[in-house]
Structure 1
Amino acid sequence: MLSKLGVCSRSQAEKAIREGRVQVDGRVVLDPERPADSERQRILLDGEPVAASKRVYIALNKPRGIVVSAADERGRDTVYDLLKDAGLPWLGPVGRLDKASEGLLLLSNDSVWAARLTEPKHHVDKTYHVQVDDIPDQALLDRLVEGVVEEGERLAARRATLLRHGEKNAWLEIVLDEGRNRHIRRLLAAHGIEVLRLLRVAIGSLVLGELPKGQWRHLSPDEVRLLGGDETR
């Protein structure tokens, strides 16, 4: 319930509850699975009444080397450092980009909307431009679509096309309709190809466009709806 209200993530809510920071009708609750009704019960977090936060949806151009995490045990810069002092409520990443990857990242406090975008059954296309240390031919591009089984997981691209190439490397456009951990890097590595740069340029109909690196913007109501949400909830 705390997560669905946009107050914090599920893991943050569970931690707060187990630490005794949540009260329901005047009593401390230590069980994260205990049912609660935000309309009929008075719920406090750190002594403050819990209410639904205004739904916020943003697009961020994540730079390479930035971690997608609220905190990093190794002290590395995170995407939340880019949002510091922006006056935004708590926001969770909608999907992930690893530290070495860059490009379009969505963040929101609408956990239901985020789940629709990330659940595999909804098959929201994600488009990447990938620089590789080879010049793939059409046969290899076809094999990327056919896929491989690596460590018990099937890895495949929905589409793979050659954008341009030089003498020693090339840029590919790879579209995924589901994302596993380091999906593209593992898929290409299975064919002996190393990724030099990986940039996510679109999620569904939403494109990165000219958003500067390290900057963010609010999604428009139409963009939220096109990605499968409803900003009026």
Structure 2
Amino acid sequence: MAAQRLDKIIASMGRWSRREVKDLIRQGRVTVDGVPARSAEEKADPEQAVIAVNGELLNWRRYTWVMLNKPAGYLSATEDGRGATVLDLLPQDLQRQGLFPVGRLDKDTEGLLLLTNEGGLAHELLSPKKHVDKEYYVRVAGRLTEADSAAFAAGLHLDDGLVCQPAELRILTSGEESEARVILREGKFHQIKRMLAYLGKPVLYLERVRMGNLLLDPVLERGAYRLLTKEEWQALAKLTEETRKPRNFNKKESDFLLKKEKTSCNPTK
């Protein structure tokens, strides 16, 4: 990777501002390959250099991917005047890294939500052309039947004009309240809720449990998060067929992606 300014590398971790990094360097508290840094303008390859601040090695990464077990009550947005967002569940150092949600979950929907600052892969995971599976656990009012599963498999044409591609409805229990797994290969706005309401089985609870080949970590408590492993990121990347040049989205582009997703085929319900 091309060498970058030392203050840019350290500030990208989100723990210090560029000004704070310059102060740290002046105070001799930053080393590169064991040697005290001379200035903020000094350049290094962040993938090769051993950079330490106050003796603590920096675990630099080009892009950040976070798995969040989203609780109800939080909006899938980077900022919103209506209430708390999923970013409020993260520490300040991650919030400063320009993360945005990969798709949306409704305020009352829980489960797997990815956040990242890697725009290229995020865009491809949301692209309807990629048909990345999204799996949900759902509890509804009313008795689910094999006829409902067949309707999902055939593809529904809703009264509001929404045309849904074939999907899977795997019934787990059936009674006054029923449970099922739903697998979509698209994700239009409120899609699962709209599909089941059309069948007369309103959704009582909804949780996303899988996206592509990535399962919600059972160890994560509701509201908790962790970074994706390198292997998990590589598995997500393999879901897309085309060679991609990753890039960051700036805030304006990220907000546009989230707005566009609300009216097109992205993982929302």
Q: Same fold (TM over 0.5)?
A: yes
SS in 2 for 1:148: coil
Q: Which has the higher strand share?
A: 1
1:22-63 C-alpha deviation (Å, 9 max, x unpaired): xxxxxxxxxxxxxxxxxxxxxxxxxxxxxxx82001110000
From the superposition, tell whether residues 170 and 156 of structure 1 become closer, same or farther in structure 2 (CA, over 3 Å).
Answer: farther
2:141 alignment partner AA: D
| Residues 1:114 and 2:152 aligned together | no
Q: Which runs of 4+ in 1 moved over 4 A?
A: none
From the superposition, tell whether residues 123 and 87 of structure 1 become closer, same or farther in structure 2 (CA, over 3 Å).
Answer: closer
2:176 alignment partner AA: K
User: Which residue pairs with 2:171 in the alignment?
Assistant: 162
Identity of aligned residues (%): 36
User: Which residue pairs with 1:206 in the alignment?
Assistant: 214
User: Which residue pairs with 2:98 in the alignment?
Assistant: 90
Larger radius of gyration: 2
Q: Which has the higher helix share?
A: 2
2:182 alignment partner AA: I
Choose the corresponding residue for 1:135, options 130, 139, 143.
143
How many pairs are equivalent? 180
RMSD: 2.2
User: Which residue pairs with 1:24 in the alignment?
Assistant: none
Quick check: 2:78–2:101 contact (8 Å CA) kept in 1? no
Listed as ranges, the gaps of 5+ residues in structure 1 are 1-6, 8-52
SS in 2 for 1:199: strand
User: Which residue pairs with 1:43 in the alignment?
Assistant: none
CA distance in 1, matches of 2:171, 2:74: 27
Listed as ranges, the gaps of 5+ residues in structure 2 are 1-11, 13-60, 247-269
User: Which residue pairs with 2:88 in the alignment?
Assistant: 81
TM-score, length basis structure 2: 0.62
SS in 2 for 1:155: coil
The CA deviation at 1:157 is 4.8
User: Which residue pairs with 1:223 in the alignment?
Assistant: 232
From the superposition, tell whether residues 55 and 189 of structure 1 become closer, same or farther in structure 2 (CA, over 3 Å).
Answer: same
